[in-house]
Amino acid sequence: QDLQKISGIGEKLSARIIKFRDRLGGFLIDEQLYDVYGLEKDVVKRTLKEFRVISKPKIVKINVNIATASELSKLIYLQKHVSESIVNYRNLNGSINSLNELSKIENFPIERIDRIALYLSL
């Protein structure tokens, strides 16, 4: 309900923000609010004047070198076909040595690599 005090956030967007946060296991950086579907940039800016990530949640990072496609696709930023491509890449090329190496994978959402990297380990 606190979110609904922000101009531009009603019941549906508030619920969507909470659902997104919960699927992530919590927001690690303020900028993740920009990733919530349907939340306009000016609304995010207003929201960030009132709400910030104060304490980062403890999350268990997914090891990109041992995770299954199913495990990888649980990360909200990775669709199933991208997760499968990561596993295929790993099977063909061996261990991934750097998270930047993920940019070589077809259809990898390179524009979100900074956020994805928050949830992955090597």
Is the pTM for the entire model greater than 0.75? yes
One DSSP character per residue, 45-94 reads: HHHHHH----SPPP---EETTT--HHHHTTSTT--HHHHHHHHHHHHHH-
> Residue 42: its pLDDT value, please?
96
Give me the residue spans of the domains in the chain.
3-50, 62-121
Question: What is the C-alpha to C-alpha distance for residues 36 and 98, in angstroms, rounded to an integer?
Answer: 27
Per-residue pLDDT of the chain (122 residues; tens, 9 = 90+): 689 999 999 999 999 999 999 999 899 999 999 999 999 999 999 999 999 998 889 989 999 999 999 999 999 999 999 999 999 999 999 999 999 999 999 899 999 999 999 999 99
In sequence order, the β-bridge partners of residue 62 are: 120
3-state secondary structure of 120: strand
CA distance 77 to 83: 10
Q: Which positions ≥6 away from 73 have C-beta within 8 Å?
A: 79, 80, 82, 83
